[in-house]
Amino acid sequence: MEREAAEPGYWDDHQSAQRKMQQLGRLKDTVTLWRDLESRSQNLSELTELAMAEDDLSLLEQLESEHEELTKALAMEEVNLTLSGPYDDRPAIVSIHAGAGGTDAQDWAEMLMQMYCNWAESGKRPLEVMDLSYGEEAGLRSATLEVGGPHSFGYLSAEQGVHRLVRLSPYDPNNLRQTSFAQVEILPTAEDDPDIEVRSEDIKMDTFRSSGPGGQNVQKVASAVRLTHIPTGIVVSCQNERSQHQNREFAVRILKAKLLARHSEERAKELADLRGERVAAEWGNQIRSYVLHPYKSVKDHRTNLQSTNPDAVLNGAIDGFIEAYLMSRVGE
């Protein structure tokens, strides 16, 4: 790939060259990572043999901590090896929709949005809020985020499905227990994807005023945008506190992601038909329950992994659930 990049005319097709250079960068990172792990393990092995031969207990104790670090690094790479899908290394578009449960469900949607924001922040991943649709009393009807960083779509794909909350309702005057639901949809970004083309003549654009809190400009000016993709009927709206131009830009990015997901589903169905496989309709399954009353627990129903610290989970500590799910899929 490096030899190809040095040939004349390589950059004539700028988009293709850029994609290849990104792929080359990822491959170099992979080679560097595994060569480093190989070198560390060889050095550790040799030093351990030396320490044992000289019966040096202090050196053995030091090497034990290095062994733990190396084991953690290898465990993380084992998880990363599960991310071999065609889009796993792309940024993710995360859409959260309040389900059954009224104001409580809208509040739950906002809590989930904050959970993913905290997860992105703790991993130093770039985050952009693309769209917010506010509830009438509190919370959010829906929210759309874009999360960048390594393998964001691969990791966050483990979050797709229905999330269930059980708690004492802060919106019920009798403070009764309430069960709320929210749907999480995860899509890979489709920027510069050769398979996805959105022609301007295929899009119908409507503008309207944004709803919910948003200051002076948002509700007075028709800055919110609704795009309809005429060939497929897919509808995308964006009404964040931005200009109409910015909302349209975000709406196009979300539309491209939805078209890419549709394209991938069609290809998967075609392959399944050719192989005679049965494709499970997994959309909408309840994947995880968060219980805050009468006891505290978060349980993933796909892997049976459980945490008794829902506060930490809702603060973004979801890596354990993601990794358990990814490892459970190996061999499928």
Q: What is the pLDDT of residues 136-153, one digit of tens each?
A: 889 999 999 999 998 999
Domain boundaries, the chain: 2-80, 92-193+283-328, 200-275
Task: Using the predicted structure, report yes or no on whether residue 244 has a pLDDT greater than 90.
Answer: no
297: nearest Cα among 284, 287, 306, 285: 306
Which residue blocks in the chain are alpha helix, DSSP H? 2-5, 14-53, 57-80, 102-122, 152-156, 215-220, 244-275, 310-314, 319-328
Task: Using the predicted structure, report yes or no on whether residue 278 has a pLDDT greater than 80.
Answer: no
158: nearest Cα among 290, 262, 300, 256: 300
Kindly state the helix (H) or strand (E) to which residue 133 belongs, with its residue range.
strand 127-134
pLDDT in tens, 306-327: 999 999 999 999 999 999 999 9
| d(C-alpha 224, C-alpha 220), whole Å | 11
- The whole-chain average pLDDT of the chain stands at 87
In CATH terms, 200-275 corresponds, of 3.30.160.20, 3.40.50.300, 3.30.70.20, 3.30.590.20, to 3.30.160.20
**Confidence (pLDDT) at 217:** 41
Choose between 210 and 2: higher pLDDT. Answer: 2
pLDDT in tens, 19-57: 889 889 988 988 999 999 999 999 999 999 998 898 888
Instruction: Tell me the pLDDT band of 105, cut-offs 50, 70 and 90.
Output: very high
**Residue 120 CB coordination number (10 Å):** 23
Instruction: Tell me the pLDDT band of 223, cut-offs 50, 70 and 90.
Output: confident
In CATH terms, 92-193+283-328 corresponds, of 2.40.160.40, 2.60.40.1510, 3.30.750.80, 3.30.70.1660, to 3.30.70.1660
Give me 109's structure tokens: 């949607």
**Confidence (pLDDT) at 165:** 94
**Confidence (pLDDT) at 174:** 84
Kindly state the helix (H) or strand (E) to which residue 129 belongs, with its residue range.
strand 127-134
Task: Using the predicted structure, report yes or no on whether residue 271 has a pLDDT greater than 80.
Answer: no
**Confidence (pLDDT) at 207:** 80
Task: Using the predicted structure, report yes or no on whether residue 14 has a pLDDT greater than 60.
Answer: yes
Does the pTM exceed 0.85? no
Q: Are 315 and 122 in contact (CB under 8 A)?
A: no
**Confidence (pLDDT) at 200:** 84
Task: Using the predicted structure, report yes or no on whether residue 230 has a pLDDT greater than 50.
Answer: yes
Name residues whose C-beta falls within 8 Å of residue 121's C-beta, 6 or more positions apart in sequence.
127, 316
What percentage of the chain carries pLDDT values higher than 70? Answer: 90
Instruction: Tell me the pLDDT band of 215, cut-offs 50, 70 and 90.
Output: very low
**Confidence (pLDDT) at 264:** 84
Q: Which of 157-166, 219-228, 237-246 has the highest mean pLDDT?
A: 157-166
283: nearest Cα among 297, 268, 271, 298: 268
Averaged pLDDT, 236-257: 86
Instruction: Tell me the pLDDT band of 216, cut-offs 50, 70 and 90.
Output: very low
Averaged pLDDT, 124-140: 92
Q: Are 247 and 224 in contact (CB under 8 A)?
A: yes
